[in-house]
Amino acid sequence: MPTVRDVAAQAGVSIATVSRVLNGADNVAPATRARVEQALAAGGTTAPVPRASTGARSGPVFVRCPYVLSDYFGPIVSAVAEALDLHGRTMLLDAGESAQAGHPLSTLPVRDVAGAVLVLPPEPGEELVALRRRGFPFVVVDPRVPPPRDVAAVSAAHFSGARQVTQHLLALGHRRIGLVAGPREWVAGNDRYAGHAAAMVDVGILPPPELVRHAHATTQDGHRAAGELLDLPDRPTAIVCFNDQTAVGALHAAAERGLRVPDDVSVTGFDDIEVSRATTPELTTVRQPLAEMGRIAVSLLARLVARQKVDALHVELATELVVRGSTGAVRSSPGANG
C-alpha cells in the first residue's frame, strides 16, 4: 500500500493535509479532500494508509493552563482536546491553581508524554529555549513573553486588533481616549498598547500618560483603573480596555458615577468572550479566534511530534472588530473634550 508521502505527492498536497483527511478532520476544502480520496483509491485502498516512518513519540499530550477554564481559556483547551482526539491522542490536563503553583519546565514528564501545549506559560524565554533544546516537542499558545525564534507559538493579532478598535473610536469623533492596558510584562498587553498608540499617532495625537492605567484581567482591576480615569478633571470620552473583563469593570465604574454608556462615555473590550454579550449595553470588542488557536497549536504539535519540518513556527491569527452598543459618537459635555 502507498505511504502518506506517496498519497500527498500524487494529490499535490502536504502530508499534513493527507493526515487531516485520514483523521476525518473537517478543515479540508471539498476539492482538496476529493483529490486525496482519488489518490487513495488509485493506490488500491480506501482505508488509512501507513504513515512514513517518522520516529513519532507515543503517549498523551500534556496541556498546561495556569488559570481555571474560564470563558477565555475554556474554548482554547476544549479545542485542543477535540483536535487531539482527531489525531488519536489523549490529553493530560494541568489547569488552575496546581498549574500556577508550578511545574517547572525542567520537571515536565517528557518521558511519559508525546509533547505539550503550554497556554500562557509564565516562564521566561530562556527556559522555553532550554526545553526545546532537550528535543521535547511543545507549542506555546498566547505567549506571555515574546516567543523565541525556534519555539513554536500561536497567538492572535493583538496589535492590529487594538488598532482597529481605536480607529473605530476615532471615526466616532473621540480624541481624548483613556486606556486600561494589561500587565506591563505581557506581550499581548504591550502589543495592544502599541496598536492603540499607532492609531492615535495616525491622527496626530500622542497618547497622554495620564490617560493610561495598567490592570490585570479582572473586573475588579478594570473597575479601579477606569474609576481613576473617570475621576480626572478632564475625563476621557472613551475608554479602551485590555480585555472584556476589565471592560465590565469600566461599565460598573461609569454607572457608579451616573455616566451613561455610550452617551457620556464609550467603552470597548478585547476577546469577545461570553460576558461581552451579557452586559447592558453589549460590549464593542475585538474577537479573538480562541478555538482556532487551540486547533492550530495541535496541528503544529503533531508535525513536531512526527519530526516533520515546520516552516512557520510563529503563527498569528487575525482578529475581528465587533461593534455593539457600548460605543457611540462623541458629544461635548462638561469636563470632557469633544
User: Quick one: 162 and 254 in the same domain?
Assistant: yes
One domain, residues 208 and 163: yes
Q: Are 17 and 31 in contact (CB under 8 A)?
A: no
pLDDT at 110 over 80: no
Say yes or no: 145 and 162 in one domain: no
Rounded alpha-carbon distances, angstroms, from residue 156 to 55, 78, 296: 32, 17, 12
The phi, psi pair for 18, rounded to 5°, reads -60, -40
pLDDT above 50: residue 317: yes
pLDDT at position 100 over 60: no
Same domain, 97 and 201: no
Evaluate whether residue 50 is within a structural domain: no
In a domain, 48, yes or no: no
Confidence of residue 1 (pLDDT cuts 50, 70, 90): low
Band of residue 54 on the pLDDT scale cut at 50, 70, 90: very low
Give the per-residue pLDDT at 271: 94
Residue 35 lies in a domain: yes
pLDDT of amino acid 333:
47
Beta carbons within 10 angstroms of residue 74's beta carbon:
18
Is 331 a domain residue? no
* Domain finish residue from 287, 308, 330: 287
Distance CA 326, CA 38 (A): 52
Residue 211 has pLDDT above 50, yes or no: yes
- pLDDT at residue number 66: 79
Domain with 67 in it: what CATH number?
3.40.50.2300
Domain coverage including residue 314: 61-155+290-318
Confirm whether 268 is domain-assigned. Answer: yes
For residue 163, is it within any domain? yes
Contact 213, 171 (CB under 8 A): no
Domain identity same for 106 and 8 = no
Does residue 52 fall inside a structural domain? no
Backbone dihedral region for residue 287 (phi beyond 0: left; psi -120 to 50: alpha; all else: beta): beta
Structural domain includes residue 337 = no
Q: Are residues 201 and 273 in the same domain?
A: yes
One domain for residues 273 and 188: yes
User: Which residues touch 186 (CB under 8 Å, ≥6 apart)?
Assistant: 144, 145
Write the CATH number for 10. Answer: 1.10.260.40
Least confident interval from 40-54, 166-180, 212-226? 40-54
Q: Which three cell numbers stand for residue 199?
A: 492609531
Domain count, the chain: 3
